[in-house]
Amino acid sequence: MNASGILRRSLFIDSSNIEEIKKWNATGVIDGVTSNQLLMLNDGVKPKSFRRVVAAICEEMKDKPVSVELTDSTIAPEDMIAEAKRFANIAENIVVKVPLIPETTKSLYVINELSKIDISVNVTTIMTFEQMILAALSARNNKKTSFLSLFWGRSIEDSANYRSRFDFMAKYPRVGLESEINSKPQAITSATASFIQEGGYDNLKIIVGSIRTASMVGQAFAAGAHICTTTPEILTSMLYSKRSIETIKQFDEAWKEMQKS
């Protein structure tokens, strides 16, 4: 996987729809693909077609990274590692998505073991700066470019609906009360970028996902994200400005008037 010239500031497409991926890859805009079980379910991917679909995406993207998520967070670490190896055998540009699982060190162990055998990882389902720290430290020794995925939209919901709720805090008192960093995904992203840079972890890239609007993409990059991954719908919405539409219409109409003279 060639990441030397890209991934400083990049867009990934969050999809398993091969036609959408081909369309956007042809624009030169995207530098990778991310997917998960929910996306594949919504895109109509079946277990029997899973490997074929992933292989087709990898072929389309050439040497650009394609993230595929482990299918079951409840299985034993050894089984997760075995599945990761099967994924890695599909193509050279596979990146294995490992969810950061609360209440157990299982995912950290899996990430560390995959790093030892040079399987690129994408640590996912991250909502807090503290989770980003653990993910960074678990993947820092991977020789291949690896990723830390902050769920931007869901982290906002996490802050509002969970970390500030007393019933949640009563169950997990050591999590700590809401902090300034975790109150906004911009702060989490910026703090993580500094943590990576100051730690010298050159193999790690921040992916911001769970993007709800086009404006979130701009916010994420401004905060220091290396990569934003988003759906085809959001990528399309990034093209839009009412003023651009009006201006283009004016120019087109002016040309038509010029033709009359």
Give the count of beta carbons closer than 10 Å to the beta carbon of residue 118. 10
> Which residue ranges of the chain lie beneath pLDDT 70?
1-6, 157-166, 177
> What does the pLDDT read at residue 240?
93
> What does the pLDDT read at residue 1?
45
> What does the pLDDT read at residue 176?
72
> What does the pLDDT read at residue 190?
97
Q: How far apart are CA 205 and CA 35, in angstroms?
A: 17
Measured CA distances, 152 to 66, 77, 125, 132 (Å): 20, 27, 10, 12
> What does the pLDDT read at residue 186?
95
Tokens read off for 81: 């590692």
Q: How far apart are CA 47 and CA 54, in angstroms?
A: 11
184 is catalytic: no
Tokens read off for 45: 């991917």
Q: Which of 22, 85, 97, 184 is catalytic?
A: 97
> What does the pLDDT read at residue 95?
98
Amino acid at 178: E
Supply the pTM of this predicted model: 0.91
**By three-state DSSP, how is residue 215 classified?**
helix
> What does the pLDDT read at residue 158?
66
Give the count of beta carbons closer than 10 Å to the beta carbon of residue 128. 21
